[in-house]
């Protein structure tokens, strides 16, 4: 028997209106950070944050990624969202240019969340909102 699937549903925001998710990241010091990310289903990067946020949240370095924004410095981030059944280490990247681009849609966006995170569950949208469903958890 399994418990129901948890879901985060967010109305589109920004100009133009865009899909987004509120994610919780756990740094080494354990103080959780809740951040809003522009959802980009075409991005191969799990997460892209500012250099300052990466410095505060990273667990260690990983390889760089070559992108159309130039090389992005990589680090391991811990996505912690028990209500969605997620506690995962993900590679993240620092890019002021990507964050600035996301903030052009909404100043609330602290970066970009891409396909590797979205594939941890199910995602979709309708005319009013974007949703992300976490994993089923055994009872």
Residues of the chain with pLDDT under 70: 1-5, 136-139
Strands (E), the chain: 7-11, 20-25, 33-39, 47-49, 60-67, 70-81, 86-94, 109-113, 122-125, 129-133
| pLDDT score at 102 | 96
| Domain extents in the chain | 20-133
Q: Is the peptide bond before 10 cis (omega within 30 degrees of 0)?
A: no
The model carries a pTM of 0.90
Tens of pLDDT, residue by residue over 56-95, are: 999 999 988 888 778 888 999 999 998 888 999 999 999 9
| pLDDT score at 24 | 97
| pLDDT score at 1 | 35
Domain 20-133: give its CATH architecture: Beta Barrel (2.40)
């Amino acid at each position: 028997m399994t418990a129901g699937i948890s879901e985060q549903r967010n109305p589109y925001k920004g100009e133009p209106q865009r899909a987004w998710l509120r994610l919780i990241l756990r740094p080494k010091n354990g103080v959780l950070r809740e951040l809003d990310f522009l959802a980009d289903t075409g991005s191969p990067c799990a997460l892209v944050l500012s250099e300052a946020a990466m410095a505060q949240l990273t667990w260690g370095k990983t390889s760089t990624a070559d992108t159309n924004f130039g090389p992005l410095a990589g680090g391991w981030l811990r996505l912690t969202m028990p209500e969605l059944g997620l506690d995962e280490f993900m590679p993240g990247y620092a890019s002021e240019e990507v964050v600035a681009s996301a903030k052009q849609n909404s100043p609330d966006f602290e970066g970009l969340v891409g396909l590797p995170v979205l594939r941890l569950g199910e995602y979709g949208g309708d005319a009013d909102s974007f949703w992300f469903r976490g994993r089923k958890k055994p009872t």
